[in-house]
Structure 1
């Protein structure tokens, strides 16, 4: 009976469809909160939608309220919304039946100050910047063509697929993925551990050490990206020995790791484009460089060929180059012949003058003077030696008379020995002086003999003397009808001039140039004998 009553009571409750209940809730909320003012921090703002509406959220430290600004109201706002800005929004609450969510439709908005998260983020940024972790001089250039790229991101998201596809399209190479959580409480510690782990890989090991590290994540709100503002992540990125690219969020999203990284990419795809060049572009560039190099070499060779041809045309011929040296050689040959004739004439004149001084009478007189000098020196030397001996004997006798008989007896033998020794030395000295004098006299005699005109006559020469035995040295001194005497090495002959010189001379052919040179050489030999 009681069960039947309970079923009857339950059947009296009105039944609602989902749409009816959602509509009733919408009306209730709009009636109860038709005009409200809400204070909160803007989160997830990405600018107006393509439709002109703006969607974001208002939050505090405990709750989150979705918000929307319709296109008509957005243009009337006194200032535009900004991420992280704390505002006071005026509007009404409503629900969205399609997702069972409630939201505020904002009609007016005014700033209420920076949000707590933004204030904390700014304070941390200033602290790390003061330590020099964001300094531009600490940032290193990326390698032009890395061999291995390390990626720190979620292994299941679209980010890693975009990076891999982009690298494969541009320049296929080895990619190492270090899986981490990119959102939540453990995000910061996992990302910092991944950066340090890549740096700890030894070069040349089984696992290749990356040349570039990419830290990547898709877009999100400030809360979603908060793990990349962690201080440990920033310090790990700044201390990384491997160049690091930050690709966190979209282009408008900025985190602290972006300031510490060596490069910031607006998107994960952009990070892949920064890390590797386009292989096809490199091939094309190398081909273009090769083509330009070949063209440059060809142009250089053509220019050098033209320069060589121009120089060849500018060079004079061999005959033109040798004309002046040939002329100088001919002039030098003629001057040499003239100078040789003058030199021979001068030498003959000097020889004749010397021959006049070398008459036998003068040589005999000189020899007699030298012999007289030698005899005089010999007599002086003998006289001086006799005087020295007499003085020594006198000194010895005087010394002997002054000494006592027993001393004289004792030293007489020694004195006799010294006297004999001195006498022998004087004899040897006299003999040596005589030998030197004889050698000097023999040398002078040889010089005198070599200057004897008769020695010259023995070599085929002759002396022509005119009247009063005056030597004739010039041909013009022999006039027709004059007589003269010719002295040979053995004998004399008288002769006379019957006709004018060279009157009946028979003309002869001019000697060849080689014969003239041979004659000059023979004359040089003869002149050498004369001097």
Structure 2
């Protein structure tokens, strides 16, 4: 008998498993292509909850899937956005799990200055639509800040120019927050610096600045791109401290310039905007003091001249008192005779009144008043007697209402009401007790239904070993004694040894083993 199958044309072609061919393809792609740079338009962008970044690169005919692992995202340089034209660098790889090849992107750069400008215009329109560029939300700069915060690189000429200009014009306290002014770390560090200055407590151990300056020297569009990031623009817009942007030269315009409270063409100009010139301010104060002194002197002179003019129009002091002095002399001459005449008039009036006050007149009036009092007292006693009798009759009528017969009637009525209420309460209690008894019986029937004894009545049994319920053969063999509970009682059996001895024999009819 021939054990070999009939030969089939092409049967000498080697066979591969799916995993083997996927591995061959993966090695081929990674070995042949390796590190590549790919230019294309960004399509779908997804930042997963795990931190991994997935996006598509496309041209007019094809789409390439790209991914950047969580640990590589911070080194990308530029975060991809849909519609952006970029150059992505990374390693090609293939996934046998889904039979797909993709790019592990590790660096991303904008493809050309035209694409950067297009992206910048897109961001400007979006932020302008939110009202972040409105002049109404811009804050005025303080005239003479006590503390100035500067966000820039600690190296380079920018910080030296700012400090030198401030020292020349008006020395102030300066806090420097060092940041990267270009590259991937620029935008997050500048945003954190602005937020950090705003988070300082006014009057704390670290003084909070009264004014912020965000500065950088000139450079290309790519060098200044960190200040065009949306995070920096939103941080500047959210700043409660007035902010001056001084990024690049006078011809350079970045996104932070539109949201800042004031834009300076250069870092040196920002320092000039921040403080006035101390010598000019002192000269102005001196000039203002001189003008104030001159104005005060001229005002005093004008008022003195006015006072002299008014004084000349007033009469002499003697002329002012001559008239009143004459009136006083005339009235003094008339006072003596007028007092004598007044005393005479009052003496005559007293004599007229005293003539009618004789003793006989007073005695007559007293006698008349006594007679009138006696007449009134004679009528008072009968009137009081009538009032007392009327009050006594009213008291007796009210006392009759509280006779024993009326009180007995009230007690009988109260007894009837009490008996009625007692009967109603007793009937209500009886009904409530009956309802509770019926509910208790129902719950007891439910307990009997759910009890395991109802299961025993259907032919099942409960096996206990050493007081514990036995559910396995090993536990039954290990127990020193067994007890079987049936529906009509319990039966004790031998220990686990007898069980092991009977293990080799077939169970008899009705045996538990």
TM range (shorter): 0.3 to 0.5
Task: Report the TM-score, using the length of structure 1 for normalisation.
Answer: 0.43
TM-score (norm 2): 0.45
